[in-house]
Amino acid sequence: MVPVSHILLLSTALFFIGMYGLFTRRNMIALLMSIELMLNSININFVAFNKYVWPGQLDGIFFTIFIITIAAAEAAIAIAIVINLYRSHLSIDVNDAAELKH
Amino acid sequence: MDISTIIFYLIAAFILGMALLAVTAKQIFRSAIWLLFTLIGIASLYFWMEVEFIAAVQIVVYVGGIVVLIIFSIFLTQQSAADMPSPKLGRKIAAAVASLLGLALCGLLVYEYGFSKTEATFDNEVSRIGTAMLNTGSDGYALPFEAVSILLLAAMVGAIVIAMKESE
């Protein structure tokens, strides 16, 4: 029997690994990959709570499905922005796209 | 310690190891491949939790869709064999300290609370999920379903408009 807290600790660790990537990477696609890791850790949390704490309901499953959908939409938009940025700057390093800084 | 417990810890170690490699790999293409393995590990965790529908969606959407999209955009925009510039040591240390402190805080909270397990079985058959998704009653999700489908449509149109070349 695995206690629920161990699954939650796994998802917490995964979330903070994604946060480490978000802090250290400067490449826009790498940042997107870190965000996907964080979203996935949250999905694990929702499913674990739904299965082990509130098994009568389906809310966690639905939150997971909607998060996956929104993550797919977000990835599509982000990659369109990356391609557009590459066309105008020939680089996808976030430090090179600082025109709006004053 | 039964076999199911051992499998859980194996899956957990696999996920965390692959995720660490994904955020520290020097070449962005390798990073994408480690991300792919992380997502497959998470899908196997869903199989371990016996939520087969979410596991299948995870494989179809994440592994089959998002990672392929990311790899395509790497090929379109990067020298995939070139190393990414390594972050400064100070930034690495600061990021590691911040992440470890956050992990310690959240881990302590989770561990202290120690969520108790209920023994009731979890009925997540696809037919039940489908009925709830299109149900307009009190436990139905018809409205968020419609909202998210409009969001997907808007995202699709937006992605095309943003990535389109401006014609003269």
- Whether residue A54 lies inside any domain: the answer is yes
Task: Give the predicted TM-score (pTM) of the model.
Answer: 0.91
CATH of B1-85, one of 1.20.1250.20, 1.25.40.20, 1.20.120.1200, 1.10.540.10: 1.20.120.1200
Q: Do B51 and A43 touch (CB under 8 A)?
A: no
Give the Cα separation of B130 and B113 in Å (integer).
34
Supply A93's token pair: 């390093």
Residue of A nearest to B97 (CA): A20
Regions of chain A with pLDDT less than 50: none
The reply to whether ipTM tops 0.95 is no
Say which CATH number the domain at A24 has.
1.10.287.3510
Judge whether B28 and B84 are in contact, CB under 8 Å: yes
Q: Which residue has the higher pLDDT, A99 or B141?
A: B141
Q: How far is A31 from chain B (nearest CA, A)?
A: 9
pLDDT of residue B135: 86
- Is pLDDT above 90 for B157? yes
B8-58 pLDDT per residue, tens = 999 999 999 999 999 999 888 899 999 999 999 999 999 999 899 999 999
Q: Cα angle vertex B37, ends A4, A32, to 5°?
A: 90
* Residue A32 is assigned to a structural domain of this protein: yes
Would you state the structure tokens that stand for residue B51, as one six-digit string? 């939520």
Report the residue of chain A nearest B164, measured CA to CA.
A84
- Structural domain count of chain A: 1
pLDDT digits (tens, 9 = 90+) for A1-13: 788 899 999 999 9
Structure confidence at residue B80 (pLDDT): 63
What pLDDT is attached to residue B11? 95
The answer for A 65-84 residues in CB contact with B (under 8 A) is 65-66, 68-77, 79-84
Q: Which of A12, A51, A71 sits opposite B66 (nearest CB)?
A: A71
Give the pLDDT score at A91: 81
User: Which residue segment(s) compose the domain that A9 sits in?
Assistant: 4-94
Domain spans of chain B, in order of start: 1-85, 123-168
Look at residue A101 and tell me if it is in a domain: no
Q: Say if A63 is an interface residue toward chain B (CB within 8 Å).
A: no
Structure tokens at A54: 């509130």
In the predicted structure, residue B168 carries a pLDDT above the cut 70: no
In chain B, which residues have their Cβ closer than 8 Å to the Cβ of A50? 122
Would you state the pLDDT for residue A102? 67
Residues B64-106 have pLDDT tens digits of 889 999 998 888 887 766 777 788 889 899 999 999 999 999 9
Contacts of B6 (CB under 8 A, 6+ apart): none
- Residue in B32, B54, B117 nearest the CB of A33: B32
The 3 state secondary structure assigned to chain B is CCHHHHHHHHHHHHHHHHHHHHHHCCEHHHHHHHHHHHHHHHHHHHHHCCCHHHHHHHHHHHHHHHHHHHHHHHHHHCCCCCECCCCCHHHHHHHHHHHHHHHHHHHHHHHHHCCCCCCCCCCCCHHHHHHHHCCCCCCCCHHHHHHHHHHHHHHHHHHHHHHCCCCC
